[in-house]
Structure 1
Amino acid sequence: MNRFWSRLVHELHPYVPGEQPRMSNLVKLNTNENPFGPSPRVWSAIRAEAAETLRLYPDPEATALRRALAAYHEVRPEQVFVGNGSDEVLAHAFVALLKQDAPLLLPDISYGFFQAWCRLFDIRAETVPLDSALRVRIADYARPAGAIIFPNPNAPTGIALGRAEIAALLEMHPGQPVVVDEAYVDFGAETVIPLVASYPNLLVVRTMSKSRALAGLRVGYAIGEPGLIEALTRVKNSFNSYPLGRPAQAGAIAALEDETHFQRSLGSVIEQRDRLTQALTRLGFEVLPSAANFVFARHPARDGAGLAADLRARAVLVRHFANPRISDYLRITVGTNSQTDALLAALARCLGQDTDAN
C-alpha cells in the first residue's frame, strides 16, 4: 500500500501470470509455451529488420502484417487488428466492445485476466457456471446480456466447443458483441473465423505465442467485421500508437510464411499430448479431453496444491489454480519427449508408484 495510490489501484486484484523462475535444470510446464520453437525464418527476418531499421518507429498500422494475416485467414486487411500480444488485443476489446449497459457474460472457470479487466474497466459481469463435466454449455447463455466472451478451447480446462455450437450462440445473441479467444485453437479445435462473414457481432482473437512459438515477441491479433476493428483501433490509438515493434512484425510475417514448420510443430505437440494423456491415465489421473497444448488433470488420491508443490520440489513446474471447483486439478503444458519423461518419473515418485508410467 502507498498513500499516493488512486482508489482504483487500491481496489484492484491483478491477474497473476505463471511463474517464470530462475532455476537451472527445471522442467517448466506451467505457462503453455511451445517447446519446439519458431520457424528458422523468424530468426532471419528479425536479424535483418533489427540491422536495417531499428532506429525508426514501426508502422503504427502494421500494414504488411495485417495483409499477411488477412491472406492466411482468407479475409480482408480491414478485418484484421494487431496488438502487443492477445492480452492487449483482448483488453482493447473489453473497452471497445464489452463495456455495455447490460452485464457481460463469461464462464465461471476461464482465463483469469477476464475478471481482472472487468475490475479495471468497471464492467459489470455475470459468470455462467461450467457444467458438471467442466464444459461450456451454450444453452446456459440464453439470458439477457450486454456482451459475451469465452476462450475456445477454454482455459484452463482445454475443452473445446464446435463451430456449430458457437454459431448457435451467435444466433441466440445477434444484437450483442461476442468475443471468442482462440489462443489454443490450432491444437485441435475448429476456428470460428469463417463465421465472421455471417455474424457482424463476432470478434475472434488469436495469438502467435502458442502454436507459432513466438511468446517472446508478443504478437496478437483479432479478426472481425471492419466496424469492430475500427472500435479496437480507436482504443489502440488512444493508448499506444506503436504497440508492435519492427522485429515483431517482421518475425510474425516470417512465421506465417513457413507452413511446413507450423504443421510439423502442431503434429509434435499433439503427439506428445496424446502420449501424456495416456500415461497420466495409467497413473490414475482423470484427464479432461484437451484440444490445447496442455492437459488438465487430477488424481483422486492427492490434492492439487500439494501435488504441485511436490513436483516443484523435484524441479518440475506445473500450474495450480485455487478456484474451489478446480483446486484438485493441475494444468500441465505439453513438453518435449524428454520433458514428458521427467514429469512422469516425478509424478510416479510423488504417488509412490514404481511402475513404468510411459
Structure 2
Amino acid sequence: MTARVHGGADALGPVRWDFSSNANACGPCPMALQAVQRADAAHYPDPDYTRLRRALAAFHAVDPARVLLAASASECIQRLTAWRWRAGDRRFRTPPHAYGDYAHAASAWGLERVDGPGLAQLTWLCDPGSPLGQGEAPDAVRALLDHMPRTVVLDRAYAPLRLKGDSALSPTQLDRVWQLWSPNKALGLTGVRAAYAIAPLGAHADVAELASLAASWHIGAHGEAMLMAWVTPEVQDWVAASRQTLADWAGALRALLNRHGWTCAPSDTAYGCARPPQPVDAAALRARGIKLRDATSFGLPGWWRLSAQRPEALAALDAALCEPTVLAEVDVRKGEDAQRRRGAFES
C-alpha cells in the first residue's frame, strides 16, 4: 500500500508560515467564507443536490446530467478507481511526478501501474500538475488520446490558479475526459471538503452509476455552500484578482530562494519545486513555524515544493534560511549520489 503524504497541517496542528500547501495564500475568499459561515447546518441538504448541480452545469455550460458531485477530490479519486476496478480494469497510469492519491487508490484496489499511452485502462492527468506546477505536454496528451484508454481523468484542481499558459487540452479534447474540480484550493478554504467532476460527453449512464456508489448526503451543508459560492461572478472576480497578487509573491519567493543558492524548477503556477544547495532540516524549520513540502514522495528526492506566501511569511523564511541550524548534516558520498540523480532530472 502506498503511503499518503500531504502538505498542510500535521500532528502538531496548523503551521504559522505554511509553504507546504498549494491553497491560495490570498484566501480565504471573503464571499465564499461568508457563504460557508451562513450555511444551514440544522438540516440535511437536498439528497439529489438539484440546485447545486444545475448551478455547476450552468457555470461550465454543460448538461446537469454530466455533473458528478464528490465529498472531495480525494474521495472522487477513490470512487473512480473503485468503479473502474469493478468494471474489470487492472492497469493505471499517472504522470511521472504526481499527487500520491492516484497511486494510493490504485494500490488499494489492486491496479498495476504501467507506462506508455496504450497500456493503461485508467489514466490520470493533472494540468497544471503538482508538485512542479507545469502543464501537460500537448504532444503527450495527443498521443494518449489517440490510444484512448477507457477512462481518462484530468485533475483541474490548480487550473484556477494558473499564472501563465493554457490547458494542453482543447475544448474538443476536454469533452472526451473526466474533469475533476476541487475549488477549495483556489478559494483558500481547504478545510471545507467538496468537489465535483464534469463527465465526458455521452457518459450520463456512467455518472448515474458513480452517483450510486456514493454515500447519501456525501457533501454537507458547508461544502454545498462553498460550491454554490464558487460559481458566482463576485467570487470568480476575486479569484482572478488573486492571481496577480500570487504572481508577485511567486516572483519574490523565487528571488529569495535564488539568493540563498536554491535551484528553482520552471512553474506555471504560484507553487513549484526548488532544490537547496545543501539539505535542510525540516524539523528545525518546523520549530520556527515554517513548513515546506518534501518532494521525495513525488519522486524528487532533494527537492522541496513551496507555494507563494504573504510577505511576512517570506521574511520568516528568509531569516530561517540564514540560520546554520536549519542546514542538515551531509554525507559526502550520499551527496554525490544525489547530485547524479538531480542531474538526470534536470536534463
The correspondence for 1:118, drawn from 106, 111, 116, is 106
Q: Distance in 2 between matches of 1:170 and 1:107?
A: 12
Taking the TM superposition and a 5 Å limit, the aligned residue runs for 1:1-358 are 12-18=1-7, 20-21=9-10, 22=12, 26-50=16-40, 54-97=41-84, 100-101=88-89, 103-126=91-114, 128=115, 141-161=116-136, 164-165=138-139, 167-188=141-162, 190-191=166-167, 195=171, 197-198=172-173, 201-225=176-200, 227-228=202-203, 230-257=205-232, 258=234, 259-299=236-276, 301-303=277-279, 306-323=280-297, 325-350=299-324
2:74 corresponds to which letter in structure 1?
D
Q: Distance in 2 between matches of 1:277 and 1:233?
A: 45
1:121 corresponds to which letter in structure 2?
W
Task: Give the direction of change, closer, same or farther, for the CA distance of 1:247–1:206 in structure 2 (3 Å limit).
Answer: same
Q: 1:181, 1:206 within 8 Å by CA — same for their partners in 2?
A: yes
Deviation per residue, 1:327-346 (Å, 9 max, x gap): 10011122112112211222
Q: Distance in 1 between matches of 2:238 and 2:104?
A: 35
Task: Give the direction of change, closer, same or farther, for the CA distance of 1:230–1:59 in structure 2 (3 Å limit).
Answer: farther
Structure 1 SS opposite 2:323: helix
Deviation at 1:24, TM superposition (A): 8.3
Number of equivalences:
321
Q: 1:208, 1:218 within 8 Å by CA — same for their partners in 2?
A: no
Task: Give the direction of change, closer, same or farther, for the CA distance of 1:279–1:124 in structure 2 (3 Å limit).
Answer: same
The residue that corresponds to 1:8 in the other structure is none
Task: Give the direction of change, closer, same or farther, for the CA distance of 1:166–1:262 in structure 2 (3 Å limit).
Answer: farther
| RMSD (CA atoms) | 2.8
Structure 2 SS opposite 1:81: strand
1:223 corresponds to which letter in structure 2?
I
Single out whichever of 343-352 and 108-117 deviates more from structure 2. 343-352
Deviation per residue, 1:136-193 (Å, 9 max, x gap): xxxxx3442212113222222222125x446513532235321111211222253467
Deviation at 1:244, TM superposition (A): 0.8
Single out whichever of 276-285 and 328-337 deviates more from structure 2. 276-285
Q: 2:120, 2:149 within 8 Å by CA — same for their partners in 1?
A: no
Q: Distance in 2 between matches of 1:325 and 1:42?
A: 35
Q: Distance in 2 between matches of 1:185 and 1:290?
A: 13
Deviation per residue, 1:60-81 (Å, 9 max, x gap): 3322222222222222222221
Under a length normalisation based on structure 1, what TM-score does the superposition of the two structures give? Answer: 0.79
Structure 2 SS opposite 1:107: coil
1:287 corresponds to which letter in structure 2?
C
Q: 2:35, 2:229 within 8 Å by CA — same for their partners in 1?
A: yes
Extract unaligned runs of 5+ from structure 1: 1-11, 129-140, 354-358
Deviation per residue, 1:43-92 (Å, 9 max, x gap): 44334432xxx332212332222222222222222222121111112222
Q: 1:321, 1:327 within 8 Å by CA — same for their partners in 2?
A: yes
Q: Distance in 2 between matches of 1:233 and 1:241?
A: 14
Deviation per residue, 1:268-293 (Å, 9 max, x gap): 22221122122212322111112233
Q: Distance in 2 between matches of 1:324 and 1:90?
A: 17
Q: 1:202, 1:224 within 8 Å by CA — same for their partners in 2?
A: yes
Q: Distance in 1 between matches of 2:167 and 2:58?
A: 16
Q: Distance in 2 between matches of 1:219 and 1:298?
A: 33
1:68 corresponds to which letter in structure 2?
A
Instruction: Provide the identity percentage.
Output: 23
